[in-house]
Structure 1
Amino acid sequence: MPGAAYAGPVSDQPRPARRTSGWVVGRVAGAPIVLAPSWVVAAVVLTVVLAPAVRGWAPGMVGARVYVVALVFVVLLFASVLVHEIAHGLVARARGQQPQEFVLTLLGGHTSFGAAAATPGTNALVAVAGPVANLVLAGGFLVAGLAVGRDQLVGVLLLAGAFSNGFVGLFNLLPGLPLDGGAVLQSLVWAVTGRRHTGTVVAAWCGRLVAVGVFAVAFALPFALGGRPTLTDAVWGGLIGAFIWSGASGAIRAARTQDAVDQLTVERVGRRAAAVGHTDSVAQARAVAAAAGAQDVVVLAPDGRPAAYVDVAAASSVPADLAGTTPVTTVAVTLPGGAVVDGTLVGPALLDALGRASRHSPVVVAVAHGRVVGLVRVPDVVAALRA
C-alpha cells in the first residue's frame, strides 16, 4: 500500500471552532489550509519508503536524486489529497456550509465545517465531491502519462499519480464512515428513515466492517496467497484500519450525542418552575409552587422580568412560623440579564439558546408565551447529553 493516503469529509458532527495546530500555507473558500506537524512525518517516511521504487523506475538514477524524485511524488500525492479536500469545501460552500479549515495530516487530510449538513442531499454531494475530484485527476494523469511514455521518468511519475489518485478516489468511496462512501450511505439511510441518527449508526457500523476488511487485506490475504505481508503494507494497513475503526466508533458516539440534542426540551433538562412577585413572602412562594406542582420558584421584577430564583436550601431553612413574614427576595439568587431562553425551543435551537444564556449565568429561566415554565441548570444539560 505504498503511497496510500486517507482523504475524507467532515464528520457528521461539526468540529470545535479552535483551529488545528500546524502551519497555515494558504486559504481557499475563506478557510485556511493547515499542514499538521504529523504531515512532515508522513512526507519523510513516504519519501524513504518510495526511494526503492524510484530506483526501479529509473535504474540509472543514484544518490540524492532518487530521494528528490520520491519527494516530488509524495508532494504530488498530498496535493491530490488537498484537491480532494478543497472539492469537499467548494461544494459545501455552494450548498450553504462554510468550511472552517482544510488539514493535511499523517494519513492524508480532512475538511471541517462549522455545522453539519442540513439535508441528506447536501451531505451526499459534499461527500462524493472529493472522490470525484481524485478520479478526474487520475484520468488526467493517466492521459498525460501515456502521452509522455513509460520510458521517461516524468511519464512514470504521471502514471504513478494516476494510480494514487485512482486509489484514493475509489478507496474513499467504500461504504463506511468516516470514508466518503460512508457519508453517502449515511445520507441514503437518513433520506429513507428521516433520521440522521439512524443513517450515522448504520454507516458507522459499516465503517467498522471496512476497517476489519483493511486489516484482513493487509495481514491475512498475503498468508492466504502463500506469501507474507510486507512491512510497508502491514504498517499502512494497520494505521489506516485503526484510523477507520476509530473514526467509525467516534461517529457512533457523535450520533448518540446528536440524537440527545435533537430530543432536547426544557422538560427533559429543566425543572418545572412557578413565578412569584418580588414583594411576596416565602410562605406565598411555597404555596404557589405547591399549587403548580413546581420544584423551583422564580422571582419577577416589577416589570415582570425574571429577576431571581429561590435558593431551595435557603428557603427550606426558614421556619414555618417566620415564612409568612420573610420576603422571598431574602432567599433568592439574583439573575443577570440575558439568563432567559424561549421555553418553546427544542433540539439544536434550544441547545444554542442555552449556550448563549449560560454565558451570563449557570442557571437559566425558561419562558414560554410570556409565562415562566422552568429553571434549567447547565450541569443538568451536560448530564442529559452524556446520558
Structure 2
Amino acid sequence: MNAARPERPSGWVLGHVAGAPVVLAPSWLLAAVVLTVLFAPNVSAWTGQTGTVTYVVALAFVVLLFASVLVHELAHGLVARARGQQPHAFVLTLWGGHTTFGGAAPTPATTALVAIVGPLANIVLAVLFLVAGRAVGGDVLLGMLLLSGAVANGFVAAFNLVPGLPLDGGRVLEAGVWAATGDRHRGTVVAGWAGRLVAVGVVLVALGTPLLEGRTPDLVTVAWAALVGAFLWSGASGAIRGARTGRAVDALTVQRVGSPATAVGARASLAEARAAAAAAGVADVVVVAPDGRPAAYVDPAAAASVPPALAGTTAVGAVSAPLPVGTTVDGALVGQALLHALSAASAHGPVLAATVEGRVVALVRAKDVVAALRG
C-alpha cells in the first residue's frame, strides 16, 4: 500500500533505496512474534517435529514474508521515482508495510502505475517461489517454505488488488474515477467508500462462511478479521477525510477565509478609521506603517469602548493590536500555495493581513482558515 505522507516514521533504519530510508517500525516486532507463533503449528504438522526448531522455521517464514512485502513497497517507490514522485520512506509495520511520499501523484496514470506494480512484484515472487519450491520438492523443509512463500505472495497480491482504499486496488479505482471525471478528490472519495465496504466484507466473510457451512466461527479468525477490517476502515475513512480537506484546500482563497479590510495611516484617528471602513463597505481596518507595511489592525472590542465624542481625538493606534513582521500574505494566492503561505505566516501571529500589489485587501484569522478546511 502507498500513501502521501511527508512525516518521517519512527523506527530502525535498515538502509536507503532510491534516496529514501527503509524503516523497520517497532510494531513489526509484535507482528513477527504473533505470526511466528501462529505459523509454528503448521511447521510442526509438516515436519513432525516440536520444540525450538518449529519456531525457528516459522520465524524464517515470517522474515521471508516481510522480505516479500519490502519488495512490494520498493516496487512502489522505484516506479514512483521514475515518474517524478520522490519516495519519502519505505516502512515495514504491524500490518505489513507502506511507502510514503513527499507529495501526491501528479496524474491518474502515475497513481495507477505506482499502485499496480506492488501486487505485480508479489505475483513475480509467487511464480519464482513456486518454481523453486517444486524444484526442491514439497517433501523437503526448504521446499515447503518456498511453496508457502508462493502462496503468501499470491495472497498478498490478490488482497491488495481488491478495489478499495487503502489497498492498491483502491488506488487504481481512484485513478480510474479521477481520469473519467477530472476530479482527483471524487476518485478518492469513491475508492474510500469502496474500502469501507471491503472492511465490512472482511468481517462478514469471517463470520458468515462458517455459519453457512454449519460450523461455529473460529474466534481467532474472527478476531483477526475484525482487526484487519478496522485497519481498512480507518485507512478508507482517513482517505475520505483527506479528499474533503483537499477539496477545501483547492478552493481556498483570501475572499473565502478573510474579512475584507481597508487601510489607514498610523497617524489617523479612530473617527478617520471608521470613516474609511464605511466608505469601503468593510468592517476591518489595518494600520500601515510609514513604509507601507501592515503594522496593526483595529481591535473591534477596543474601538467599541471608545465613546463617539472621543473618536476624533483617539489615535487609531490606541485601539489596535499589532501585526508582527511576517504576518502578511499575498492575497492573490489560491489553493495549496495560499495554505502554505498562511501556515508560514500564522507562526508569527493568529491574525494576518492579506495584500495584493501592496494594497491591503483583507484580514485573515487562523481560526477561520481552520473552520474552512474542516468544512
Relative to the length of structure 1, the TM-score reads 0.92
Instruction: Determine which of 75, 85, 91 is the counterpart of 1:97.
Output: 85
- d(CA) in 1 for partners of 2:292, 2:56: 74
**1:112 matched to which residue of 2?**
100
Q: Structure 2 CA distance, aligned partners of 1:307 and 1:94?
A: 47
Question: What secondary structure sits across from 2:252 in the alignment?
Answer: coil
Is 1:259 aligned to residue 259 of structure 2?
A: no
| CA displacement at 1:229 relative to structure 2 | 3.6
Which residue in the other structure is 2:178 paired with?
Answer: 190
Q: Tell whether 2:130 aligns with 1:137.
A: no
1:350 aligned partner: 338
Partners of 2:341 and 2:105 in 1: CA distance:
20
Question: Matched residues in 1 for 2:37 and 2:341: separation?
Answer: 52
What aligned pairs does 1:1-387 form with structure 2 within 5 A after superposition? Answer: 8-10=1-3, 14-15=4-5, 17=7, 19-59=8-48, 61-387=49-375
Aligned residue identity for 1:194? G
**Deviation string, structure 1 residues 282-326 (Cα, Å, up to 9, x no partner):** 111111111111121111222222222111222222222222222
- Partner deviation per Cα, 1:22-55 (whole Å, 9 max, x = no partner): 3222222232222222211111111111111112
CA distance in 1, matches of 2:199, 2:62: 24
CA distance in 1, matches of 2:156, 2:180: 28
Residue 231 of structure 1: how far off its partner (Å): 4.1
SS of the residue aligned with 2:286?
A: strand
Q: 2:262·2:285 contact (CA, 8 Å) conserved in 1?
A: yes
Q: Give the count of matched residue pairs.
A: 375
Q: Unaligned 5+ residue runs, structure 1?
A: 1-7
Which whole-Å deviations, capped at 9, do the CAs of 1:92-122 have from their partners, x for residues lacking one? 2222322222222222112222222222222
Q: What secondary structure is seen at the aligned counterpart in 2 of 1:275?
A: strand
Of 150-159 and 32-41, deviating more is 32-41
- Mapped to 2, the partners of 1:87 and 1:228 lie a distance apart of 40
User: What displacement does 1:16 show?
Assistant: 5.2
Q: Which amino acid aligns with 1:26?
A: G
Q: Distance in 2 between matches of 1:278 and 1:137?
A: 72
For 1:164 and 1:55, the matched residues in 2 are separated by 18
3-state DSSP of counterpart to 1:96: coil
Other-structure match for 1:3: none
Tell me how far apart the structure 2 counterparts of residues 213 and 319 of structure 1 sit (CA, whole Å): 67
Give the Cα separation in 1 of the matches to 2:217 and 2:11: 34
Alpha-carbon distance in 2 for matches of 1:297, 1:139: 70
After TM superposition, the structure 1 stretch with the greater mean CA deviation from structure 2, 50-59 or 265-274, is 50-59
Letter in 1 for 2:341: A
Q: Distance in 2 between matches of 1:370 and 1:191?
A: 40
Question: 1:177 is aligned with what amino acid?
Answer: L
Give CA deviations for 1:233-273 in whole Å, capped at 9, x if unaligned.
32322221221122112222222211211111111111001
User: Secondary structure, in 3 states, of the residue corresponding to 2:194?
Assistant: helix
Which structure ranks higher in relative contact order (CA pairs < 8 Å, sequence separation ≥ 6)? 1
TM-aligned CA deviation for residue 369 of structure 1? 2.9
Supply the AA of the counterpart residue of 1:38.
Answer: S
Q: What amino acid is aligned across from residue 227 of structure 1 in structure 2? A: R
Gaps of 5+ in 2: none
Q: CA RMSD in A?
A: 1.6
Structure 1 vs Structure 2: percent identity of aligned residues? 67
Residue 185 of structure 1: how far off its partner (Å): 0.4
Deviations along 1:4-36, whole A, 9 cap, x unmatched?
xxxx111xxx4352x333322222223222222
1:5 maps to which residue?
none
CA contact (8 A) 2:6 2:103 kept: no
- In 2, Cα distance between equivalents of 1:111 and 1:181: 15
Aligned counterparts of 1:386 and 1:108: Cα–Cα separation in 2: 31
Alignment deviations for residues 340-367 of structure 1 (CA, whole Å, 9 cap, x no partner): 1111111111111101111122111111
SS at match of 1:324: helix
Paired letter, 1:96: G
AA partner of residue 27 (structure 1): H
SS of the residue aligned with 2:313?
A: coil
Give secondary structure in 2 for the equivalent of 1:329.
Answer: helix
Measure the CA separation in 2 of the matches of 1:74 and 1:44.
Answer: 9
Deviation at 1:232, TM superposition (A): 4.1
8 Å Cα contact 2:6-2:88 kept in structure 1: no
* Cα distance in 2 for residues equivalent to 1:278 and 1:125: 58
Give distance in 1, aligned partners of 2:304 and 2:88: 50
Quote the Cα distance in structure 1 between the aligned partners of 2:100 and 2:336.
19
State the TM-score, normalized to the length of structure 2. Answer: 0.95
